[in-house]
Chain A
Amino acid sequence: MGQNANHGHEEHHIIPFSILRNVCLALLVLTILTVFTAKFIHLGVLATPVAFLIAFVKAMLVMAYFMGLKYEGNGNRIIFGTGFFFLAVLAFFCVLDIWTRLPVQDIFS
């Protein structure tokens, strides 16, 4: 907020072709990696966190380069980040409730 004046003569930033190509390649490699870890290595309990971590890295790449957040001002980064923050709030309190409810065996004396 607060950037209301004087952006008259800026030029649009052009993201170089090579960066876009490399990001695309990285995303494909990470896709292969996520399939590989899930289907050909048995990670047990780690499976979900690992898959989620890889997805997170991919998401960061898309956001930074394809969506161009890396070249944006802080304003739009804060706006987009706010969405994720309040999503985390929703998840946190729902989980807090469900995980601290009395287990059924404690209900019956």
Chain B
Amino acid sequence: MGNTHASGDNYINHEKGLWSWLTTIDHKRIGLMYMIVILFFFLCGGIAAMLIRLELFASGPLFDGNTYNQILTYHGAIMVFMVIVPGIPAILGNFFLPIHIGAKDVAFPKLNLASWYVFMAGAILAISTLFTTKIDTGWTFYTPYSIKTGTAVVTMVMAAFIMGMSSILTGLNFIVTVHKLRAPGMTMGRIPLFVWAVYSTAILQVLATPVLGITLLLLAMERTLGVGIFDPARGGDPVLFQHFFWFYSHPAVYIMILPAMGIVSEIIAAFSRKTIFGYTAIAYSSLGIAAVSFFVWGHHMFVSGQSEIAGIVFSFLTMLVGVPTAIKMFNWLATMYRGSISFESPMLFAMGFLFLFAIGGVTGIMLATVGLDVHFHDTYFVVAHFHYVMVGGTLMALTGGLYYWFPKMFGKMFNEFWARISFVLIFIGFNVTFFPQFVLGAMGMPRRYADYVPAYESLNKISSIGAWTIGVGFLVALYVIIEGLMSKRIAPANPWGAKTLEWQVQSPPTHHNFEVEPVVTAGPYEYR
């Protein structure tokens, strides 16, 4: 394995000045650049979430319907396209995927930088709609409402298209990197599970995003030329739009969750000081989830007017995707069995992930059950379910991952006490927010409602209070990161005693990651 040289030179001080960052092709620096902008967009999306909960705190209107719809659209669009989809792959994937496989960089470093600029272009275009007519379609852009509404749909759709291109280029880079740049001895059976997860995600990004691209282009054409493919007034079919949209957007939820599962695999092995149980099963279940995710999108459309047969087929296939997910859950548990478990904040977040993802998973099975989903579809039950997966899963893992790798990325230690406080606030706040929403959904409260009938009021009040607790929790997490950056607590090369390659090099890593090309002779979790 690679040697640790405690030289003063690292990727952060290798070159100096803003310009050296804006023109960098170092994957680690690009990862940090993504981190800065994605955390900023997360703040924007979070503010929208707080406003939504403010409106729903009490029955009766606070904002008018249009304003509320715009807030909810920005919350969805920002969180999906600008935070959760790029989040883990672009920040942690960029930073650690090459190091994990013993490479000096990704396959196409300049393309990697270009992806960042493309992403920024799309993101700025998306934000620019805030200063024009805004947008009120929901992040799903369902036709024909998105064709008829008088808001900046074309701009937003083009922004999503451009960010999609960035996503494709990142995915392409990772696929080729994993195929071609592994260090000698680093076989596919020895790459860390985080790499397997990001690799599966990359495949999804490359295969699914182009279809979103053409769908959004057609929607833009629909508004400018009235092409008619998705417009019933011109002989088109709005349900076909939903098919095209979910062909991307269902795999996209795995784009969001698979990398989170990768982080959890790393953290659980490291903090249990034990080799991962069922490496092969976890690795192939990532690929399996990725593949099967293309066959199940119709479960978003059980009551959309698609045929009964299609609904049943999609329900069946969706059940199949539950199996690899269950496999992962059991494998993580088995890894903890007879381990030597310590509870630093990354592990707390990983365990929080297991807790919340278990609930998100079982409610997913309820929603996949076609007869039951008829009642739950488009109610708060769905809202609660996907927040359990997207926030309870992805964001918990992202926060845990940032803590886990913080010493490696910056060479400093964060404040463990406040990190634990952030976990407690986020975890408790999360359950207080979203568990009542399951009940609201079962009671029949529809989603995307600016106002609700008084019967739903008390649970909504609880939910809003929980949401503000999460908000405080994430602000504390932000404080932990900033305080850690300013602090003088120097991190050792391997503070957690983990075994993967990134911990064998100095913190922070040098410009070229490895002084000598590492030669790999064993698997990634050799805790013997």
Contact = CB atoms under 8 A, between A and B. Distances in A.
Chains A and B touch each other in the complex, with CB atoms below 8 Å apart: yes
A97 B239 contact: yes
B318 to A, nearest CB: 12
A4 B239 contact: no
A96 B309 contact: yes
A83 B207 contact: yes
Contact of B180 (A4, A86, A101): A4
Interface in B20-41: none
B207 A98 contact: no
A37 B460 CA distance: 67
Contacts of A90: 211, 243-244, 247
Contacts of B187: 2
Contacts of A82: 207
A89 B307 CA distance: 17
Nearest to B308: A100
B521 interface: no
A89 B295 contact: yes
A75 interface: yes
Contact of A89 (B186, B294, B313): B294
Nearest to B297: A93
A48 B155 CA distance: 38
Interface string B179-192: 11110101110000
Interface residues of B, number: 29
B307 A100 contact: yes
Contacts of A100: 307-310
Contact of A93 (B181, B243, B308): B243
A60 B180 CA distance: 27
A44 B308 CA distance: 33
A99 B310 CA distance: 10
A86 B308 CA distance: 23
Interface in A5-24: 5
A94 interface: yes
B45 interface: no
Given A2-B188, A75-B179, A89-B294, A96 B207 contact: no
Interface residues of A, number: 20
A5 to B, nearest CB: 6
Interface string A34-76: 0000000000000000000000000000000000000000010
A104 interface: no
B310 A96 contact: yes
Interface string B150-190: 00000000000000000000000000001111101011100
Given A4-B179, A4-B180, A4-B182, A97 B298 contact: yes
B306 interface: yes
> Which among A3, A5, A82, A86 has the highest number of chain B CB atoms within 10 Å?
A86
B240 A98 contact: yes
B237 interface: yes
Contacts of A1: 178-179, 188
Contacts of A5: 184
A90 B237 CA distance: 16
Nearest to A7: B180
A77 to B, nearest CB: 14
17 contacts: A1-B179, A1-B188, A2-B179, A2-B188, A3-B179, A4-B182, A82-B207, A90-B244, A90-B247, A93-B310, A93-B314, A94-B240, A96-B307, A96-B309, A97-B243, A98-B307, A101-B307
Given A94-B243, A96-B307, 9 more contacts: A3-B179, A4-B180, A90-B211, A93-B313, A93-B314, A94-B240, A96-B310, A97-B307, A101-B305
Interface of B: 178-182, 184, 186-188, 207, 211, 237, 239-240, 243-244, 247, 294-295, 297-298, 305-310, 313-314
Task: List the 7 closest A-B pairs by CB distance, nearest first.
Answer: A100-B307, A97-B310, A100-B309, A101-B307, A97-B306, A4-B182, A94-B243
